[in-house]
Amino acid sequence: MTLRHIALFSVIVGTVFFATQSDALFNPYQEQFVSINAGVSVANNIFLENKKAHGFVNAGGSLFLGDLVNNYFGPVLGITYLSWGSLGQAEILSLGGQLIVPLNLNFFLIGKLGLGYSEVRTCNGYCTESNNAVPAFGAGVGFAVTKNWMGSFEFNGEYLTESVSNGRGLTGALTLGMTRFWHS
C-alpha cells in the first residue's frame, strides 16, 4: 500500500460523504462517542536486522473519542496499541476525521483519516525506537446493537514511510469493537 492508495481512499471517502448529503438517510448515531476495539495486529514489514514480522502478528487494540458535528462527520482523537510479540510494539496517537455513512437503518460504513504520531519499537538482542508523523486511517462496517450502541468490524492503522528506521508500509489492527453514543 502506498501513499497513492491512501490518497485514493481519501477521495473515495470524500465522494461518498458528498453523495450521501444529496440523498440523506437518517443516521441514528450522532453527537459524542467513545469507541473501544480489540483484535489482531497486522504488519506489512516490521524489522530489526535479520528478524522480521509481517501478516497477522499478535494483538492490537484502540480507543477513539469523537463528536459528530453533522449527521455523518466529525473530529476523532484516537490511540492505538499494536503488539508484535517478541519483536516489539507500536503506539499511534492520531487526530483526524471520522465518517459514518448509513447503508440502511442497521448497517453503516465507517471511515477515518488523519495524522498520527507513531512510536515504533523493535527488539532483537537490543531495542531500537523511531518516532514519526504518519498518515493514520481506518475503515470498517458498523451494525446497530441498540439506540446508543453500535458494534463494528474495523481496520485501524498507519502507513510507515521511508523515514521510519524499523518498519515500512501498512501496520494496524483488524478489530471487533463497540461504540457508545450520547447526547450532551
Q: How distant, in Å, are the alpha carbons of 32, 55, 106, 178, 179 from that of 169? A: 32, 12, 34, 27, 28
pLDDT band at 121 (very low <50, low <70, confident <90, very high): confident
Question: Contact at 8 Å (CB) between 51 and 80?
Answer: no
15, part of any domain: no
Interacting residues of 181 by C-beta distance below 8 A, sequence separation 6+: 29, 30, 31, 32, 33, 148, 149, 150
Backbone angles phi, psi at 22, to 5 degrees: -80, -25
* Residue range(s) defining the domain that contains residue 100: 28-181
Grouping H, G, I as helix, E, B as strand and the rest as coil, residue 73 is strand
Query: Residue 11: inside a domain, yes or no?
Result: no
Report if residue 45 sits inside a domain. yes
Whether 136 has a pLDDT exceeding 70, the answer reads yes
> For residue 100, is it within any domain?
yes
Q: Which three cell numbers stand for residue 139?
A: 475503515
Average pLDDT over residues 72-86: 92
In a domain, 125, yes or no: yes
- Strand (E) or helix (H) holding 15: helix 3-22
**pLDDT tier, 122 (very low <50, low <70, confident <90, very high otherwise):** confident
Q: Are 28 and 100 in contact (CB under 8 A)?
A: no
Is residue 104 scored above 60 in pLDDT?
yes
Question: 154: domain CATH number?
Answer: 2.40.160.20
pTM over 0.85: no
CA atoms of 127 and 32, how far apart (whole Å): 39
Domain annotation covers residue 78: yes
4 lies in some domain: no
Residue scoring higher pLDDT (151 or 163) = 151
Phi, psi of 13, rounded to the nearest 5 degrees: -60, -45
**How far does CA 154 lie from the centroid of its chain?**
7
Percent of the chain having pLDDT more than 90? 46
Burial class (CB in 10 A: 0-12, 13-18, 19+), 166: buried
DSSP H/E element including 182: strand 167-182
pLDDT score of 84:
83
Query: Is residue 21 one of the residues assigned to a domain?
Result: no
Radius of gyration from C-alpha coordinates of the chain: 17
Q: How many domains does the chain have?
A: 1
